[in-house]
Amino acid sequence: MSSVITVAIPSIAPRTTLLARALASVATQNNPAVAVSIAFDTAREGAPATRDRALAGVTTTWVAFLDDDDEMNPEHLQALMMHAETTGADLVYPWYDVVGGMDPFPQWEHDAWCDSAPHQVPVTFLARTDAIRAVGGFSYDWDASQGSDPGVDSGGNRAGEDYRLILRLARGGVKIVHLDQRTWKWHHDSGNTSGLPSRWSAS
């Protein structure tokens, strides 16, 4: 299986050690990425704009997002790419092991994706680059004035830029598929800078 994947990583300066750990996990993939696109938030632009700048550097068919304080297991890219090829998916999201905390979304770990009942999808997914760009990326309908925590709805979904992206993709007919396999590590022990509710202490 030939790799056509770029890993896109947003980062901030205080996380150089964590970024090195994330990059080490990318380097040890069974199905290596052909490139890594890193965008540094040096002007306090926030996660949506920084993710979009990382996305702007992607020239491959597929993009795999990874936050700078998380890690891919060695099988992560291979498993997601194989599942995309098998199912014809435009976006594949796996599950994860939480390090230093508890899973905020245990109710969805084993559920197949359903467009009519969307839910939070952690941003460490694999997707067709063009599909993400076609719906405006992460910044399209994100209002920075909402502050760092726009809240959580009754279903447990955080109304952040990543969830809004997923909703736009689902409405646009993008085929989203869940891989019921834990293929990455979601670190909740790295400090909370992403705007998730503080009780999660997540990346």
Distance CA 113, CA 175 (A): 9
pLDDT value at residue 200: 24
Residue-level pLDDT at 3: 55
Return the amino acid letter for 130.
D
| Whole-Å CA distances, 87 to 83, 95, 175 | 6, 17, 9
Residue 53 is predicted with a pLDDT of 96
- Taken in order of first residue, the domains within the chain and their CATH numbers are 5-187 (3.90.550.10)
| pLDDT value of residue 30 | 96
Position 195: which residue type? G
Q: What pLDDT is recorded for position 132?
A: 97
- Residue-level pLDDT at 130: 97
Angle at 38 between CA 85 and CA 133, to 5 degrees: 50
Per-residue tens of pLDDT for the chain, all 203 residues:
345 999 999 999 889 999 999 999 999 999 999 999 999 999 998 889 999 999 999 999 999 999 999 999 999 999 999 999 999 999 999 999 999 999 999 999 999 999 999 998 999 999 999 999 999 999 886 655 554 545 556 665 666 788 889 999 999 999 999 999 999 999 998 764 443 332 222 23
